Chains A and B, each alone.
Chain A
């Protein structure tokens, strides 16, 4: 079984400082900060509705943050114009909670879409072989001509991962990669994530409330509570914490996954 790999470089790929975001009177983020280091798997734990999705959507400006500073690979995200933002976005892969495959397109066309828009990322390699390689790396080469409606939930998640990988991003944001999958399929996705981290050296920000996923994959864990980074440490650090809000996550963690 694979274990997360630790890097030594310490210039952060992502640096968030005092991020705030409210919807009307609902203050979701109230000064959240984090640093993501190269090659690291950073897990953000939070209860449903705590603002985890809002957080990573602010990161790439799918949602406009109210305040605070976001830097991705040194660039201040909130000050970028459209063209630079689009360029930066190709460096950041995003795996959506519901996979978000384009359902009018086949698997092949889904993977071709980002490539056609950013041919410079193909670095001269033929489109078809890139698509083939990406699908092979998630074990779905045989599904190339299927439509998303013909795939199971786990297969969709893997195709979405292949579509994210095809532009060779340096950072991947995962929004609940295992939610809605059975434990065995969830474990397959987790192992795939670890494999990709090792082979490609990408850094990942993983949002979840799945403790088993967190335990297996995390180099570091941040607990998002009350809109701030409430607690931070390795999985085993936090597992020993006495804080009731932290403890609440670690109750009852009999793993269905083996590692």
Chain B
């Protein structure tokens, strides 16, 4: 009983600190001085580091989904609707969620470890004493880069998913690639596209903020760095599902679908 109470208190405290950290990000996010050069560098690093992984997983998810759906769709006589089905599934859910989870593993842990080791070896303090605000230089740029790059990576994953799906379909019959993509996008409504895109910005925010928070306040020692990277992944994955649920619920109410 006592253990449960103290664990709950610990979790609540962590939630409070993470919220305060997020608040601090928003406070500095749009005000000067703006570290433009570092932001560009981070966008490139974050986008490029995960691009290949996203390309590969998107394509494979497209293959798998199509193979799995096929028998049932044939049973229902609906196999012609494959592009509609896969397109909507990818744009609404699979693309954003798979990309976000992969980025939580790749980018989130990378940021956690990088900032963690900078904290432990006093590099963050060194920035501070040279008259640079390390929160602006390190945290604000990385979170912005995540917010901006994640939607792009999701678009890439969606496209690769459809391509994978088309690849399976083309081995089973005559379909043209242009027709396949046309069908897929023709089936989509504004209620599919807008909420899905909006939520990917929030996914980027979650990954960036949690990774930075864990690294920035990393405990001393190399074990602290490892824990920072690890818990960045665990916590952001959990939060991603939560944000996804809230986003879907909100979209459901707003677009009545």
Contact = CB atoms under 8 A, between A and B. Distances in A.
Interface of A: 57, 60, 62, 82, 86-87, 89-90, 92, 94, 96-98, 100-104, 113-114, 117-118, 163, 167
Interface string B119-130: 001110111111
Query: Interface of chain B, helix or strand or loop or mixed?
Result: helix
Nearest to A96: B122
Contacts of B133: 82, 86
A126 B156 CA distance: 44
B121 A113 contact: no
Contacts of B123: 100-103
A207 to B, nearest CB: 14
B121 A103 contact: yes
Contacts of A89: 128-131
B132 interface: yes
Nearest to A83: B131
Interface of B: 114, 117-118, 121-123, 125-133
9 contacts: A62-B125, A82-B133, A86-B131, A87-B131, A94-B125, A102-B126, A102-B127, A103-B123, A114-B131
A60 B118 CA distance: 19
A62 B130 contact: no
Contacts of B114: 104
Contacts of A117: 130-132
B131 A96 contact: no
A201 B118 CA distance: 32
B192 to A, nearest CB: 41
A90 B123 CA distance: 16
Nearest to B41: A104
Contacts of B118: 102
A82 B122 CA distance: 20
Nearest to B114: A104
A60 B129 contact: yes
Nearest to B37: A116
Given A89-B128, A103-B121, A167-B130, 15 more contacts: A60-B129, A62-B129, A86-B133, A87-B131, A90-B130, A90-B131, A92-B129, A96-B125, A100-B122, A100-B125, A100-B126, A113-B127, A113-B130, A114-B132, A118-B131
A127 B44 CA distance: 26
A98 B131 contact: no
A61 B159 CA distance: 51
B122 A98 contact: yes
Nearest to A57: B125
A167 B122 CA distance: 19
B200 to A, nearest CB: 28
A90 B118 CA distance: 21
A100 B118 CA distance: 8
B128 A98 contact: no
A96 B126 contact: yes
Contacts of B131: 86-87, 89-90, 114, 117-118
B135 to A, nearest CB: 11
A85 to B, nearest CB: 8
A158 B129 CA distance: 18
A100 B121 contact: yes
A82 B28 CA distance: 13
Nearest to B117: A103
A97 B122 contact: yes
| Most A CB within 10 A of own CB, among B121, B128, B130 | B130
B121 A98 contact: yes
B129 A94 contact: yes
A186 B138 CA distance: 33
A95 B170 CA distance: 65
A255 B132 CA distance: 40
A62 B126 CA distance: 9
A60 B126 CA distance: 11
B226 to A, nearest CB: 17
B48 to A, nearest CB: 15
A14 to B, nearest CB: 15
B132 A94 contact: no
B203 to A, nearest CB: 26
A52 to B, nearest CB: 15
A101 B121 CA distance: 8
A97 B130 CA distance: 16
A86 B133 CA distance: 9
Contacts of B125: 57, 62, 94, 96, 100
